A and B are shown apart, each in its own frame.
Chain A
């Protein structure tokens, strides 16, 4: 699990970019590291949590994590925070002023872009923060560079008195490559907080005086980029096309065109414009390969470089893998595009789905059976409720958005939505991240919204991390645990409108939701059953289907529990002449946890504990656990 943490100087280890960054942060003598989970950056803090000589925390959101890192910098220590791309949108309010104050101890922000959208609500190019926030951006291509550049970033931060962004993408965060370890933890302190209102108190008069500093720093950073060894070029014998690239796209270019000249940008902002112009002038055709937007290309075109191409032949979104680059180059030089690929076969989709016995299954079963509701959703495992078999989530925008969106739907509704109930669905972690303010806004403005707060005591979506909802910290130690009922009451929800339910008691969940959606006041329905990934979850013995009694109604399939599968289908004709499709089922007893949800809609009551069945000889779930390292 922690190859980099245990490695000695001189050792080579196969680690992900995230793990390499954690090692570098530790080596840099960093005192404080903070993050809110988010794919693909989550593991950086999980790895940092393993180092006992550094303070590391799960913060409640990204803005707070950056502010915590800022505080550490102010007292002369090195501070670090990590987040996924959208996290920096949340933290940007702090960033945009931090860039004026500058730093004391080095401050590094690792931001991970989900290029290709493996698990995010949008695709962003975080390099743009460089220009917008006037901060330098380093852009590693693999784990070794992630390690090297993170170490450099702290020095750069102090040298230029600026926060530094290390821009990552999924292919850096989650790809394992070998790194050579060359450092141990160094001692670092710049000695205490020096009170200086003219530096740290950003009121207009002070901020105004910092603007010229920022402009001067921009110039110095741009000069430094021209000579920085992180920006370098390699010559090549095949000069038909030369490449300018950065990040993992550099590896893809080298794979696809190993003989071609290439300029690799590692210090991405400010871009080394003169060096790039000089490089481009040596070749006839230059292709800029950048993920994802045309940042370098636009800058070069604006600087009058004419022989460059980029997004005219390469896609605007997603990864620029070797095949994609080859295709783009063929287009560029007008070569025929041939393909001798084996045709793909059509196979059913297999979208990610909620886990066996997930505590969200029951509430979604209930929502799916309700008519005349609009469901403003949020981000978490429960977003999957938009899919089959529930189809019970109507919007998903950003963390916490369900609150505001539901209120806006309520206030903005016309006659078409007159009789609709507005429901907001949000998870515990998302509620604490950015949902609380939205709820306060609902109660303050007297909205008619029913909130379903799915408290599963974990950040399920990103792997079951701890949060204030379960009262455990990053290191798994007990700490303060938030009481959601008290919290929402303090935010203005009437005590009688706060309803706690057991997520697996389907009839209760349904009845409660029906009652609360009828009442024209804000109400909050809170579940409290843990995510199956966390320690608090206690499985019971598995259930099985008494196959002779199953009538094929298929009701249990509508829970969406993936442990249930169809063994046989039949079509029968009912007395009224209509056809009815039947699906007879079985339960995979090796994964069923016995949560009991599927028994609720089963009329013949034919789902029963396996322990009550006579023959138990092949019950795999009782076999000894194996040395599986997952």
Chain B
């Protein structure tokens, strides 16, 4: 049987969703998997919903993950996790940055930000980890590190090792910006620890 791993990365334009998906795809490629990755980069504006899908395995046909078939949902924002949770398999793993980003339509009072998003997500009974990756990134000194923190979070839910994934991240700037290697390793490990502890509690 052809086993394909389906990873869905979701968030908001400008958060680094595409980069995270790119790194996951590259990691799979380096292990000689067949890989397909959607990159829907439409409008340049920030603020819209962004999703990227990575599929890999011995042989991948369609690049599209269909509803109910994702093995992992990696969400960079809380409400976005709720928006896409039904894309997961019944036993799919849900990893959520529980940071909240309200769009202008919510700030204008036209819509409400969901109050119990995390509770609703938990009620699905799936393996899940929710923690504030943005806070961790800010603590480390730059909000852009969210990306690496979230990749750390997903590391335990992949069919390859966390070290392999981390190598893929740091190799991107080991030459050009060596001072960032240690910082990204820390971000990765903090994300990994945060999610591993919660996932362990579930299983």
Contact = CB atoms under 8 A, between A and B. Distances in A.
Interface of A: 14, 16, 39-40, 118-119, 142, 170-171, 174-178, 248, 251-252, 254-256, 258, 319, 321-323, 340-345, 347-356, 358, 381, 384, 388-389, 460-464, 533, 557, 560, 562, 564-566, 569, 581, 583, 585, 590, 618, 620, 623-630
- Which 5 A-B pairs rank lowest in CB-CB distance, beginning with the nearest? A627-B173, A352-B48, A348-B111, A119-B42, A255-B62
A171 B80 CA distance: 23
B45 A176 contact: no
Contact of B35 (A177, A356, A583): A177
Given A170-B40, A174-B40, A463-B44, A347 B68 contact: no
B144 A342 contact: no
Contacts of B124: 342
Given A627-B177, A630-B19, A342 B85 contact: yes
Residue of B12, B44, B88 with most chain A CB atoms under a 10 A cut-off: B44
Given A170-B40, A175-B39, A258 B61 contact: yes
Contacts of A321: 62, 64, 66
Given A342-B90, A389-B104, A322 B62 contact: yes
A448 to B, nearest CB: 33
17 contacts: A14-B26, A39-B43, A175-B36, A248-B62, A254-B61, A350-B80, A353-B46, A353-B47, A388-B104, A388-B110, A464-B44, A562-B103, A620-B143, A625-B142, A625-B144, A628-B16, A628-B147
Contacts of A349: 103, 105, 111
A97 B20 CA distance: 47
Contact of B47 (A251, A350, A629): A350
B109 A345 contact: no
Taking each of A175, A353, A627, which has the highest tally of chain B beta carbons within 10 Å of its own beta carbon? A627
Given A174-B41, A347-B114, A460-B44, A353 B104 contact: yes
B180 A626 contact: yes
Contact of B107 (A351, A566, A590, A625): A566
Given A176-B39, A177-B36, A388-B105, 11 more contacts: A175-B38, A175-B39, A342-B86, A345-B85, A350-B49, A350-B79, A352-B42, A353-B47, A354-B47, A583-B107, A626-B144
B159 interface: no
Identify which of B41, B90, B145 gathers the most chain A CB atoms within 10 Å of its CB: B41
B191 to A, nearest CB: 15
Contacts of B39: 16, 174-176
B182 interface: no
A388 B61 contact: no
B176 interface: yes
A143 B124 CA distance: 37
Nearest to A356: B46
Contact of B68 (A342, A460, A557, A562): A342
A110 B85 CA distance: 37
A564 B107 contact: yes
B37 A14 contact: yes
A82 B143 CA distance: 37
Interface in B156-177: 172-173, 176-177
A170 B83 CA distance: 23
Given A255-B62, A630-B18, A176 B107 contact: no
A255 B80 CA distance: 27
A145 to B, nearest CB: 13
Nearest to B63: A175
Given A174-B40, A348-B112, A557-B108, A341 B82 contact: no
A178 B57 CA distance: 13
B138 interface: yes
Nearest to A175: B63
Given A177-B36, A342-B88, A351-B105, A623 B47 contact: no
B152 to A, nearest CB: 15
A340 B172 CA distance: 41
B25 A176 contact: yes
A269 to B, nearest CB: 24
A170 B29 CA distance: 22
Contacts of B66: 321-323
Contacts of B120: 345
Contacts of A176: 25, 35-39
Given A342-B124, A353-B45, A629-B172, A171 B86 contact: no
Interface string B54-82: 00000001111011100000000001101
A174 B38 contact: yes
Contacts of B37: 14, 175-177
A345 B83 contact: yes
Quick one: which of B45, B49, B67 has the most chain A CB within 10 A?
A: B45
Contacts of B108: 388-389, 557
Contacts of B173: 627
Contacts of B61: 251-252, 254-255, 258
Nearest to B100: A565
